[in-house]
Amino acid sequence: MLSALARAQAAATGVAQPLTTVGHLHAAAAPLVCVPLALAGETLAPLAALVGTDRAAPRLLVVPQPRNRDLRFAFAAALAAEVLPYLDARRGATEDVPADRGRQVRVRYLDAPQVWVPNPGGVEFVRLLGRSLRFRRTDGEHPVPAAVPRLGCWLTFLADRAELPGSALLVAATAALGAHWATGQSAVEDAHLPALLAWIDPPEGRTGAGAAAAAEDPAVTPPAGPATDPAFDRDVLAPLVAAYDRGAPDAPGRLAAALRGQLTPAWDAVWRAYDLLAALPPGATVAARWGQDRDAFTGYAAHLDEGGLPQPRHDSAVAAAARLHRLERAAATYALQRAYDDPLVLADHRLAGEAFRGEVVLADPTRVDDSGRRPVLRPRITVRSADPLHLAPGTALCAPGRPKQRATLVSVEGRDAVLELRGGMGRGRTPEAGSVPEVGEVVTYTTLTDAFAPAPAFPAPEDTPWTHGGPPADPAGGDPRGGAEVPGDPPAGAPPEPVPAG
């Protein structure tokens, strides 16, 4: 609702409006930017990419005939030569993290990779490229260098991680910008990175609306990929690819120049998106989420070091259920953390009646509930709020300022809500100073809690119940980390198709 209002405000003022007061995305110090292009009509035929960590010196990779499988694998090897050293360079110093309530120590890298692509299409490109490379063999009929399947595993890891709400290892610039600013156009139009940036950061002397309209013309601003502009395909790319097929000596150079021209605006746009997001003050929990990303990176690097298998084609029933649980849990946690970190996000919950803010008018900090077997400290406070109170008595609440303390709504009378508190007050019979809100204090309570929900006990793959297809036929495929080349799988990409004349 607040974001809809922000869109209306943006439409009226001609400039994007903030949706947050802090940044919710970790901006890595040394990101790798990759802007890919793919040939239209094919499942995955890489055409070109600008890739690198230095915004002034991107590396251009070109596949002059995208239907040629040898050239495609040469592209993959060249991309691996850019990406794998970048990943390895993140594996420097480590830190010890207490695990299992301090009984054990976990080691993780201090750094992790952060790959930026222009849009969700770029994430899909990473996923498809990972899928097409990770099962390639380094021996047999069509051998590839060992770096190629390794790149496939890493790209799949990044694409999987991008599904996880709050993860920052693979970032789609449009999605990251759209989570922080509302434009005066629709979400459909926001998918176009140049137009989105035009709203957020319009060029000097122009409104966002005017700049966005200009950015929509593919002849002026090429699309940010992976799909190319059909007119470019027809007028520029098709003749140049045909010239390359004829063996014209200047064709590779002209192709590279044309593709660089298509890619450079998107390259610059992704870096501008990075700058905009890196300039926001980070929210309080951003570092913790980045820590989880570093954990995942550390774990997957170790998996590959140990000669682990590539990710399977399909999750088994058990692995799929576990993955769904992880995603749901991450989505809930991310929503909660954003609301706690950011009063503007929390305001949306207040509007929806899931949170309220008010002043403490009565407090009984030493109240003891002795109705049970032993007396327990259960202070009560009364909060007077201007927000409508539609919550039912018994609702569990939490205050962003006191995340360890739980509150239960006892009753609502008019504008007054009576809350009973537990936890987060120390071990004594009287609460520690400041742990119970005092009369006059302004507090916010919300129904968003990160109440500990233990992971459901999933069965072992060999115990998959019949309702879920029974145990997987191939136990290796049932292991989320397992997976093997399926015999008879055709090589990625059929032999090069001749390009029909005309």
Partner 1 sequence: MTDTVAAALARVRGPAAPVRHNARTIAALTGNPDCRRRAVLDAAGVDKTALAQYVGHPARYGQSPFAIIRGHAFEARVKADGYAALRALVAAKLPGADVAGPAVDLGDGGADNAARYARTRAVLGGDEVALADHPLLRLSVAGQHVYLEPDLVACRVAGRLHVVEVKSFPVLDGRADPAKVAAAAVQAAVYVLGLRELRAAGGADPDAVATDALLVCPRDFGHEPTVAVLDLRRQVAVLRRQLRRLARVADLLADLPADFTVDLGGEGGAPARPPGAVAAALARLAARYTPDCLAACELAYHCRAEAAGSTAALGPAVREELGGVPDVAAVLAYADGAPPADPTQAEAAAVLRRAARLRAEALAGAAVWEC
Which of 132, 298 has the CB closer to partner 1? 132
Residues 292-321 that bind partner 1 (CB under 8 A): 313-314
3-state percent helix, strand, coil for the chain, nearest multiple of 5: 40, 20, 45
Report the alpha-carbon distance of residue 473 to residue 469 in Å, rounded: 10
Q: Minimum distance from CB of 443 to partner 1 (Å)?
A: 7
441 binds partner 1 (CB under 8 A): yes
281 binds partner 1 (CB under 8 A): yes
Q: Going residue by residue from 7 to 26, which x/- string records binding to partner 1, judged by CB under 8 A?
A: xxx-xx-----x--xx----
Question: Among residues 74, 81, 84, 216, which is the contact residue for partner 1, using CB under 8 A?
Answer: 216
Which structure tokens are listed for 123? 């994430």
3-state SS track over 99-145: ECCCCEEEEEECCCCCEEECCHHHHHHHHHHHHHHCCCCCCCCCCCC
Q: Going residue by residue from 169 to 198, which x/- string records binding to partner 1, judged by CB under 8 A?
A: ---------------xxxxxx---------
Question: Among residues 14, 175, 233, 329, which is the contact residue for partner 1, using CB under 8 A?
Answer: 233
Which structure tokens are listed for 463? 């115990």
Report the alpha-carbon distance of residue 449 to residue 218 in Å, rounded: 46
Size of the site for partner 1 (CB under 8 A): 66
115 binds partner 1 (CB under 8 A): no
Q: Minimum distance from CB of 128 to partner 1 (Å)?
A: 7
Report the alpha-carbon distance of residue 334 to residue 473 in Å, rounded: 36
- Using alpha carbons only, give the angle 401, 338, 293 rounded to the nearest 5 degrees: 110
440 binds partner 1 (CB under 8 A): no
In this structure, the number of other CB atoms found within 10 A of the CB of residue 406 comes to 18
Report the alpha-carbon distance of residue 338 to residue 400 in Å, rounded: 10
231 binds partner 1 (CB under 8 A): yes
Report the alpha-carbon distance of residue 71 to residue 47 in Å, rounded: 10
Q: Going residue by residue from 381 to 420, which x/- string records binding to partner 1, judged by CB under 8 A?
A: ------------------xxxx------------------
Return the exposure string of 470-482: e unless at least 16 CB atoms fall within 10 Å of the residue's CB, then b.
ebbeeeebbbbeb
Which of 302, 386 has the CB closer to partner 1? 386
Which of 275, 497 has the CB closer to partner 1? 497
Q: Are 338 and 345 in contact (CB under 8 A)?
A: yes
Residues 334-353 that bind partner 1 (CB under 8 A): 341-344, 346-347, 350-351
Binding positions for partner 1, rule: CB under 8 A: 1-2, 4-9, 11-12, 18, 21-22, 39-44, 128, 131-132, 184-189, 216-218, 228, 230-231, 233-234, 237-238, 281, 313-314, 341-344, 346-347, 350-351, 399-402, 437, 441-444, 489-490, 492-494, 497, 499-500
